[in-house]
Amino acid sequence: MQEGKVLPAAQINRDLLRPILETPRWYWPVVSLLGMIVLAAAVVVGIMIDQGLGWATGLNYKVVWGFFITNFVFWIGISHAGVMLSAILRLAKAEWRRPATRAAEVLTIFSLMTAMIMPIIHTGRPWRILYWAFPYDFARGVWPNIRTPLVWDPSAILTYLTSSTLFVIIALVPDFAVLRDRTTGWPKIVYTMLAMGWEGNPRQWKLQIIAGVLLSALILPVFVSVHSIVSWDFGMAVAIKSWHSTVFAPYFVVGAVHSGVSAVVFAMILLRWAYGWQDYIRHEHIDALGRLLIVVATGWFYFLVMEIIFGIYGLEGDELAVRALQFLPGDHGVAYNVWMIIFVGITYFLPVILWLPRAWRRNLWIMSTACISVNIGMWLERYLLFVPGQANKQFQTFTWNDYLPQWPEALIVGATFAFVSMLMLLFSRAFPLVPLYDIKEGDILKTEMQIGRRTVPATFRED
Amino acid sequence: MPNAEFMHKWGMVVDLDKCTGCQACVIACQAENNIPINTKDYFLQKRAYEWIRIERYWEGEYPNTKARFMPILCQHCENAPCEPVCPVYATYHNEEGLNVQVYNRCVGTRYCINNCPYQVRMFNFWHPNWPARLENQLNPDVTVRTRGITEKCTFCVQRLRRGEIEVEARGGQRLTDERITGGNYDPACVQACPTNALMFGDLVDDNAAIKPYFDDVNANPGHGEHDRVTRGYRLLEEMNTRPSVIYLKKVDQYPLASGGGH
Amino acid sequence: MAGEAHPQTGHETHEHGHFGPEMWVIPERSGLVAEVTEKSQAGSGLLRVVFITGGVLTVLGIVGFVLKLATAGFSDHRAWGFYVAAFAFVFTLTASAPLAACAFRFTKSHWRRPLSRIAEIFSLVSLVNILLFIPALIALPDIGVMTDSGEAMVRRSIWFQELNNPAGWLMAAMVGLAFCSLAILWLSAMPDMAQSRGLVSGFKASFYQRLAGGWYGTKRQWQIQKAGLAILGAFYFMLVVFVQFLIVSDFAMAMIPGWKDSILPPFYTVISFQSGLALILVAAYALRRWGGYREYIGQAPFWSASKVLLGLTLLHTYHLFAFFITYWYGRLEVEQAILNYLMFDAYIGIFWAQLFFTFFIPFPILVSNHARRQGWGAPLAAVFILVGLMLWHVRIFAAAFAAAPADLHGLYFLPSEAFALPALLLPAPAATFPDLWDIFMLLGGVGIVLLMFRVGTMLLPPLSMWEVKEGSMYQRVDTLIRGRYLVLAKPE
């Protein structure tokens, strides 16, 4: 499957370190623009904390979790790309993972950080949030209530954040050393400290590889548990009919991988275009990721169907009311059924059709379209899963209500995308977003084999 | 503080047959518990809130219709779904069977609101304020809640506490039905109800007026509904929340010709 | 390969000592086709044992079935819980076994090659599954059709009261599944049959001639065969998942009043993959250890498949936990009743036994590198898993059939009627213990799988010869820097 040529190590270093050693011309304008969006959102968040959720959101006495929680789950979902691509594919010895790993892991960290902002600013009194998350009793004699999914959440997310940060740092150490040797002045001091005396001797490599494999295996349970627990925020709620479904945990995990891997593919296409990394992020990689995505998307679709079928299966009046709100045209203000059709179309059918032909998988424009459409769809998925259930809670039709998001919510949600992009760009200014050593290792393992009259690419098996 | 000598288990019975939908309970609750005034704006934002609300349902097709009223307040469930989901223990069950909301602890995650099948938990979207003169009528026994927290019916715990202090701590007598009613220690809604559709009492007290209804419903749960001798039932019984409020069915002397539900 | 110089590397490899790159090498033998064909003509002691055991158990099963029919009849579905459990177990095992071949062919895993045919041979059981399915369909109580008054006997089902009796559709799904899996077997075995058609005689010769007469191994034929296998494999995969969804929701979930559990079909699918892989591993190990296929089935399949089995075992437990925690936390009356029924009250013993067999025992075996390298680790774990999954089927299907008497399925008025369950569930069904005929039928289920495996190996050698030959072309052991490693070719 290898298509690219084996490049000399010096050229790999030169190409992949270019964004760090020489800043591209577009870099600072783009970062400033993103920074301004983030700043605007930060101001709005400030006003919101001062004025209250009443000012900023369209939430009402019925629908109390809206855009912010949707966005929280969305970013948690994106964060699942990192482990999927580096840990699982590393354990599965998939060669094509190599250029994608770092970007995916970094995206994991930044999206987790972004995700954690959302539930904090969505609370009524965010300044008291420390009571909630930290197992420290503040002399009140009251500890966090470990029975609630809202306490399982921060525990799982912080564990995930810690372990994936470790994962990134371990993978970065050899690259820190390369940077240490190629910089001067204060950056050199920083990189020297970060490289922790890396010389690239066999013992260090052995330790680095063992640490990587060990973390890959240990991070997997965390990976599964994070989104399962996030799904249980909803799955445990008996009062909202469409939420209390046993399938939520695997459904959310697969959906997270679906949106996360799509996001990584799009990020890689952007990187390839922005930094001219055609030799590193090649069509074969995008192609392989596309094939993986077909499988993931179909698995996700299966869980979606299960969730819907067994929602209706009960034939319970109050659940049917929620489903009717989701699927049937009605006299309500928001046409959830239209959104539902759009969501299933752009999350499953459109992208999978675009991924099926090999030529389309290798067309970066088509690939970008499919991946963006998946992510818009997955955002909608969460919204359509959370809001209709709250709008039609139980049989008490007297209190049925709807939700219309307001501009501050939309701005804050939009700014989270700018925030993650900005962090990714800032990261790429300081550290290589495509792992140098991983690419070089892949090149070393590359070889050829003569079968009959054909010469076929081959690889040395890892381990 | 609850007196260790006298344990209580508070409960309420709502007789739908007697309810006229006059909303006196709503107003009494509003005044007693320092609930901010629901302005037109709040209604339009769908953020107006009441601790006890009268749900009005139309039965039948116009012009052959009947209005049905249903007062809904916090059910003080023994197995409350809102309690385990609060990360900061802002809501918990106390010794007297009350579902207690601690405003100071609440950070406003609103999970309890989502997990309440009766939708009686209300989020304070705005800072409460009253026209200047009305501030003088605020009940000094009840906290004015700040913006950003969840609040709900307390069974007028301030009145119960006052009763416990005045009757039990001083006189050494148990707070019984007569003493509750005589001393105005009933919740405000019960006190205000002109038709006595709301009844309040102590389930530990064998002579309490509400006791037979609870005994009957407890003796014939769920499937045994048809064996009940009273009209009692609990809201959303299949949710297994075991509310401390029992509703008595409406007995319709002149049913609609066509039948039909809400 | 103990004590024998490897033809490609010249290294001497040992069963239990050396785990170098040679462990991974798929053996290349020039006389592979002749040897394997001859071996499969001759049979072996192992296969004789399989045949006799399978035959005896099958006869027992038939006896059990006949006597059950004579004593209980089809009037009360509660008598047939264990029969349905036995059927579901056989179905789960064998429907997903061919999937293992398809799935790992799809992922281009080299280690699958020696296992492929073993997996596909279980396609033959799908014919038996159709037969076994008939009594299960007869025993399945009607759904009931809603009348206007709503008083008809109705149970919830995925057919939503549109069909009184979905037997026709279920049967069609089952037949389609059998057809598809046999097509996979035929397509996959075609090159092998063509190769050995000159080496066999009698019935087999004409059989091979008929099924693979037109195969000459042209480039175009290979392309069609590979594309056909890929498409059929993907189609079969989806079909299996769908039929499993139908079976587990109609024969288990819909039978317990009030049970609404959206994770059950995915859970059942995971269980099915787990059991299919376990079955293949046990069969492959037996063939390698006692059946004379040591030279052809290396160690690598066990090492690699054990990781997949570990993953599936963890997934099984994860799905179980996701179901449990949602019901536990929900605390609805009906959920508590179902948790009690399936896990704590009546079936508590079988629940814990199943948990031990499917998780607590195999997990330590499968995480141990030592046990997995030895070759016996994964098959040992697989045996435990198979026993545990049989218990799982008893716990779910037998319990479901015993949950409510035939006349108490009037559940349309949910949830108010579902709430009626505790009164209905708790006193009525204590654990239903199998009678002797039930045990016979369970054993018969095991027997029929063994018997059909023996029949399959009579028709076809249990080794995918073309895949093994292809695999041995795509590999070599080479030196990189100072070490020697396996090199794998990756043709598109």
- A43-94, pLDDT tens digit by residue? 999 999 999 899 999 999 889 999 999 999 999 999 998 788 888 888 877 8
Return the pLDDT at B3: 57
Return the pLDDT at C344: 83
- C247-300, pLDDT tens digit by residue? 999 899 888 877 888 999 999 999 999 999 999 999 999 998 888 888 888 888
- A 302-321 residues with CB < 8 A to C: 302-303, 306-307, 309-316
CB C62 within 8 A of CB C444: yes
Among C222, C262, C308, C492, pick the best mutation site for testing chain A contact (most A Cβ within 10 A): C262
Across the range B167-195, mean pLDDT stands at 89
Return the pLDDT at C405: 59
Quickly state the pLDDT bin for B201 (edges 50, 70, 90): very high
Q: How far is B206 from chain A (nearest CA, A)?
A: 33
Quickly state the pLDDT bin for A200 (edges 50, 70, 90): confident
| Chain A residue whose CA is closest to C22 | A461
C329: chain B residues, CB-CB within 8 Å: 84
**Inter-chain contacts counted by CB atoms under 8 A, chains A and C:** 120
Kindly tell me if the per-residue pLDDT of A235 is higher than 50: yes
Kindly tell me if the per-residue pLDDT of A332 is higher than 80: no
- A 123-142 residues with CB < 8 A to B: 123-126, 128-129, 131-133, 140, 142
Q: Does the distance separating the beta carbons of C412 and A248 come in below 8 Å?
A: no
| Chain B residue whose CA is closest to A56 | B125
Higher pLDDT, A103 or C155: A103
* Contact partners, residue A359, CB within 8 Å, separation at least 6: none
Q: Are strands B99-101 and B91-93 parallel, antiparallel or unpaired?
A: antiparallel
Higher pLDDT, B260 or C238: C238
Return the pLDDT at C151: 47
The CA-atom distances, in angstroms, between C349 and each of B16, C312, C317, C355, C401 are 48, 24, 18, 10, 18
Q: How far is A410 from chain B (nearest CA, A)?
A: 18
At B231, list the tokens: 């009209």
Across the range B193-199, mean pLDDT stands at 94
C336: chain B residues, CB-CB within 8 Å: 240
Query: Subunits that touch chain B (at least 3 Cβ pairs < 8 angstroms)?
Result: A, C
Residue C161's H or E segment, with its range, is: none
CB C25 within 8 A of CB C477: yes
Higher pLDDT, A457 or B124: B124
Chain B contact for C418 (CB, 8 A cutoff):
yes
Query: What's the rounded Cα separation, in Å, for the pair A417 and A114?
Result: 9
Percent pLDDT > 90 in chain A is 53
Sign of CA dihedral C200, C203, C208, C214: positive
Query: What's the rounded Cα separation, in Å, for the pair C237 and C304?
Result: 21
Return the pLDDT at C174: 93
Helices (DSSP H) in B130-226: which residue ranges? 157-163, 177-182, 188-192, 211-219
Most confident of B85-89, B186-190, C399-403: B186-190
Across the range A379-396, mean pLDDT stands at 89
- B45-56, pLDDT tens digit by residue? 889 989 999 999
Higher pLDDT, C155 or A362: A362
At A176, list the tokens: 């820190």
* Residue B13 φ then ψ, to 5°: -125, 130
Cβ atoms within 10 Å of A25's Cβ, excluding its own? 7
CB A111 within 8 A of CB A74: no
C422: chain B residues, CB-CB within 8 Å: 222-223
Return the pLDDT at C56: 95
CB C135 within 8 A of CB C81: no
Query: What's the rounded Cα separation, in Å, for the pair A262 and C358?
Result: 35
Quickly state the pLDDT bin for A34 (edges 50, 70, 90): very high
Across the range A363-392, mean pLDDT stands at 93
Query: What's the rounded Cα separation, in Å, for the pair A250 and A299?
Result: 10
**Radius of gyration of chain C from its Cα atoms, rounded to whole angstroms:** 24
- Looking at the partner chain, which of A124, A150, A394 has a beta carbon nearest the beta carbon of B87? A150
| B60 φ/ψ sector (left φ>0, alpha ψ -120 to 50, else beta) | left
Low-confidence ranges of chain C (pLDDT < 50): 1-18, 149-152, 406-407, 409-428
Return the pLDDT at A305: 94
| Chain B residue whose CA is closest to C420 | B223
3-state secondary structure chain A: CCCCCCCCHHHHHHHHHHHHHCCCCCHHHHHHHHHHHHHHHHHHHHHHHHHCHHHHCCCCCCCCCCHHHHHHHHHHHHCHHHHHHHHHHHHCCCHHHHHHHHHHHHHHHHHHHHHHHHHHHHCCCHHHHHHHHCCCCCCCCCCCCCCCHHHHHHHHHHHHHHHHHHHHHHHHHHHHHHHHHHCCHHHHHHHHHHHCCCCCCHHHHHHHHHHHHHHHHHHHHHHHHHHHHHHHHHHCCCCCHHHCCCCHHHHHHHHHHHHHHHHHHHHHHHHHHHHCCCCCCCHHHHHHHHHHHHHHHHHHHHHHHHHHHHHHHCCCHHHHHHHHHHHCCCCCCCCHHHHHHHHHHHHHHHHHHHHCCHHHHCCHHHHHHHHHHHHHHHHHHHHHHHHHHHHCCCCCHHHCCCCCCCHHHHHHHHHHHHHHHHHHHHHHHHCCCCCHHHHHHHHHHEEEEEECCEEEEEEECCC
Q: Does the distance separating the beta carbons of C266 and A302 come in below 8 Å?
A: yes
* Residue C4 φ then ψ, to 5°: -125, 135
- A390-439, pLDDT tens digit by residue? 988 887 778 888 888 999 999 999 999 999 999 999 999 889 888 888 88
Strand partners, C488: A459, C475
Most confident of A41-50, A316-325, A449-458, C12-21: A41-50
At A128, list the tokens: 């008291």
Return the pLDDT at C198: 81
Return the pLDDT at C146: 53
| Chain A residue whose CA is closest to C415 | A316
The residue count of chain C comes to 492
Return the pLDDT at C411: 39
| Average pLDDT over chain A, rounded to an integer | 89
Query: Subunits that touch chain C (at least 3 Cβ pairs < 8 angstroms)?
Result: A, B
